[in-house]
Amino acid sequence: MTIDNYEFQNIKSFLKENNFILSNDLPRKVGNGQSNPTYILTDNGNKKFILRTQPKGDLVRGAHRLDREFNVLRGLSNQKFSVPKPILICEDKLTIGRDFYIMELGKFKIRVNAICPGTIKGSRMVRVIRDKSKFLKIQKKKIEKEFISMASMNCWIYEEDIGKMCSFLISKDGERISGQAIAVDGNATRMD
């Protein structure tokens, strides 16, 4: 999936309106992933930037949330974490039909780790427990206890637990960790 010339001209116009002038024609795609396509842009000062877009087509509600990605990067950048600085986001679907944002091109010592969360206590699990309870005609407390028992630590995982792992991985203490799949799941022993 690539950006066509029509889309790119619209992106350039949007960026120009926000005092960001590009010098290249079509951006160069980075990687082979399709989830949120990523491209390298060059401004008129020959500085390189990253363009991230949602994929083309209909999206599942809540998927490919570039606004969330942009805001997480902005928050980390504002707290002086070593992350690429987010510059500008466009959530106006009239521009190219999907969201996109621009950020600095980060340093090339890129580390890649996967965080594998367990069952996270939050609004989604509240709905799952409610619906399962209703369907099976079992009390919600019993369903919740069943989910908790799937981890040997007998506890929920919270969004903060995932955030703390992210913070560790991008900290100085985690700078030599790469290529890992890290489970933050309370040592899940079953997933039924």
* Dihedral (Cα; 38, 42, 43, 46), 10-degree rounding: 150
Quote the percentage of the chain above a pLDDT of 70.
91
Determine the pLDDT at residue 34: 59
Strand partners for 114:
181
Candidate from 43-57, 106-120, 138-152, 168-182 with smallest mean pLDDT: 106-120
What pLDDT score does 109 carry? Answer: 63
Residue 41, pLDDT score: 86
Categorize the per-residue pLDDT at 175 as very low, low, confident or very high, splitting at 50, 70 and 90: confident
- Please, what is the end-to-end C-alpha distance for the chain in angstroms? 36
CA 40, CA 56: separation in Å to the nearest integer? 18
| CA gap 2, 4 in Å, rounded | 6
Q: For position 132, what pLDDT does the model report?
A: 92
Does residue 49 have a pLDDT over 80?
Answer: yes
pLDDT band at 85 (very low <50, low <70, confident <90, very high): confident
Residue 56's pLDDT is 82
Span 1-30, average pLDDT: 82
Give 81 or 50, the one with higher predicted confidence.
Answer: 50
**The Cα angle at residue 49 between residues 101 and 39, in degrees rounded to 5:** 70
pLDDT score at 23: 74
Residue 112 pLDDT greater than 70, yes or no: no
Q: In what order do the strands lie in the sheet with 38-42?
A: 28-30, 38-42, 48-53, 100-104, 86-90
- At 110 the pLDDT is 65
Answer yes or no: is pLDDT of 168 > 70: yes
Ordered domains of the chain (ranges, CATH): 5-104 (3.30.200.20), 114-184 (no CATH)
Whether 100 shows a pLDDT value over 70: the answer reads: yes
Rounded average pLDDT over 113-134 = 86
What local confidence, expressed as pLDDT, does residue 32 receive? 62
Q: How confident is the model at residue 90 (pLDDT cuts 50, 70, 90)?
A: very high
Q: Tell the burial category of 63 from Cβ atoms under 10 Å away from its Cβ (0-12, 13-18, 19+).
A: exposed
